[in-house]
Amino acid sequence: MNLSYEVRFWDITRHETKNGPSYRVRRKVGGQVKSTSFKTKALAESFLSDLRQAAKRGEAFDVETGLPVSMLKVEKQKTFYDFALAYVDMKWPHAAAKTRDSMTDALATVIPALVKVDATDNPETAVLRSALRQYALPPAARTESRPPEIKSAIDWLEKHSLPMDELAKPRVTRLGLDAITLRLDGTAAGATTIARKRSVFYNLLQYAVELEILASNPVDRVKAWKPPKVREVVDRRVVVNPTQAKELLTAVTYVGLVKRGRHLKGFFACLYYAGLRPAEALALRKVDCNLPEEGWGLLIVAKSKPQSNKRWTDSGEGHDDRGLKHRAKNEGRPVPIPPELVTILHEHIDEFGTNHDGRLFRTLTGGIISIGTYCEAWKAARALALSPEQVASPLAGRPYDLRHAAVSLWLNAGVAPPDVAERAGHGVDVLLKVYAKCVDGGAESANRRIGAALAG
């Protein structure tokens, strides 16, 4: 399928024929002019409106037919491999880098499993995965030069991929579901990984239903296959109490190269005192901070810089530039911050200043701090601040656990769930399901209260 984002439309034109007037919709896709005629002007206007809406959404258009991907009536004999490419083209323009990564990861697992049973000379699994992830699935990579083994693997998939109508059979769909339960080395995949990949596979098949290629989603008919349950709540063992959090933030200042630890203290403090996600803290600018000399301050969290492979970002950079989760584009989230964080950020700005774009936290060269860098510093800080038993435990095992601790603390302090949800950037239902956990040591307090009640 040859796809293009270069689309131009002309006004509807009327033409006289021996059977009466017709109305023609003309468009130019990838340099080729295509036209479609209708008996009434109303039908032509409706069709042109659909085309323009698809272009406005950023959909790719098929050069051969002049139609957007969402309007293609894919023939029954089209293969699952071809349809997967069309699905990626439809999703790609508005997908975040991490979503693109997750989507191609899932499809690179499922596509090789849905091939003809008589297929021979199967390429190695690792080669097929590399061919799909690096060359076939990302739209921009399809024109890149391919090493011989990659070209051979893609040719094999094109030849042996199952026709889409075969996917209507539950036993065939099961092959794809079974594939996502295994890692590349054949060992069992984690529950979260299975759930994530199943979601992509299910949505792809639902798209086939939308285009009337399949009558219904066959995954719904595979009754005996059940995905493993995914842990949806925060493990209370990871949540630190305020004293432990302060000790960890102090310990951070003693780790890493010259000044690196002190520079990262403010970053980690934003996760604990403001409940920010790491990607939100990385995007925090001085202009987003209201830091009075005394009392509570305010952050207006407006951007996020999640880390991803350069292949999945539009910019080609290692960090995507995104808005906030669960928010409209450019909509900020106000987060009141306690005096402790106000003081830490004042000290940070006084010592380190800001980047040329106003960001508070950056590398020595002004870049975005990588996950590897701040996780390495956090690991060293845990070794300094915690006892050997605590280091061996899940307590604050990841920097993200500081956010869990923040939200848990707010809830346990009696802050109303809607207010906590607003600060954390979550829906109330998700908040109560995932984050309503006691801080470390809270069980002892509860035991004392129960004991007092039992004593009468």
Q: Per residue in 113-146, pLDDT tens?
A: 999 988 888 899 899 999 999 999 998 888 889 9
Whether pLDDT at 159 is above 50: yes
When comparing pLDDT for 196 and 20, which is higher?
196
Q: What CA dihedral angle connects 110, 114, 118 and 120, to 10 degrees?
A: -30
Regarding pTM above 0.75, the answer is: no
When comparing pLDDT for 50 and 164, which is higher?
164
| CA–CA distance, 48 with 42 (Å, rounded to integer) | 10
Whether pLDDT at 437 is above 80: no
Mean pLDDT of the 421-448 span: 72
3-state class of 307 per DSSP?
strand
Q: Which two tokens stand for residue 156?
A: 């094999």
Whether pLDDT at 161 is above 70: yes
Mean pLDDT of the 340-353 span: 95
Whether pLDDT at 30 is above 80: yes
Whether pLDDT at 430 is above 80: no
% residues pLDDT > 90 (the chain): 46
When comparing pLDDT for 50 and 11, which is higher?
11
- Is the Cβ–Cβ distance between 277 and 340 less than 8 Å? no
Residues of the chain with CATH 3.30.160: 3-70
Query: Measured in Å, how far apart are the chain's first and last C-alpha atoms?
Result: 77
Whether pLDDT at 206 is above 70: yes
- CATH architecture label of 236-446: Orthogonal Bundle (1.10)
At 51-91, the pLDDT tens digits run: 888 888 888 888 888 888 877 654 444 899 999 998 998 88
Strand order in the sheet with 3-4: 3-4, 61-62, 67-68
At 213-252, the pLDDT tens digits run: 888 899 998 887 777 666 667 788 899 999 999 999 999 9
Mean pLDDT of the 449-454 span: 78
| Residue-level pLDDT at 299 | 94
| Listed range (188-202, 308-322, 440-454) with the worst mean pLDDT | 308-322
% residues pLDDT > 70 (the chain): 88
| CA–CA distance, 418 with 124 (Å, rounded to integer) | 51
| Residue-level pLDDT at 75 | 47
Positive or negative CA dihedral for 356, 361, 362, 364?
positive
| CA–CA distance, 400 with 350 (Å, rounded to integer) | 26
| Residue-level pLDDT at 432 | 76
| Residue-level pLDDT at 387 | 94
| Residue-level pLDDT at 103 | 93
| Residue-level pLDDT at 76 | 43
| Residue-level pLDDT at 58 | 87
The DSSP-derived string for 364-410 is TTS-PPPHHHHHHHHHHHHHHHS-HHHHTSSTT-STHHHHHHHHHHH
23-31's contacts with Cβ under 8 Å and 24+ in sequence apart are 25/51, 27/51, 27/66, 29/4, 29/61, 29/62, 29/63, 29/66, 30/2, 30/3, 30/4, 30/6, 30/61, 30/63, 31/4, 31/6, 31/63
Kindly report the three-state secondary structure assignment for every residue of 249-290.
Answer: HHHHCCCCCCCHHHHHHHHHHHHHHCCCCHHHHHCCEHHHEE
Q: With bands split at pLDDT 50, 70 and 90, how would you rate the model's confidence at 323?
A: low
Q: Which two tokens stand for residue 443?
A: 């069980």
Q: For the chain, give the mean pLDDT.
A: 86
Mean pLDDT of the 194-207 span: 92
Residues of the chain with CATH 1.10.443.10: 236-446
Select the CATH number that applies to the domain covering 3-70 from these four: 3.30.160, 3.30.1370, 3.40.50, 1.10.10. Answer: 3.30.160
- Is the Cβ–Cβ distance between 80 and 161 less than 8 Å? yes
| Residue-level pLDDT at 226 | 76
| Residue-level pLDDT at 325 | 55
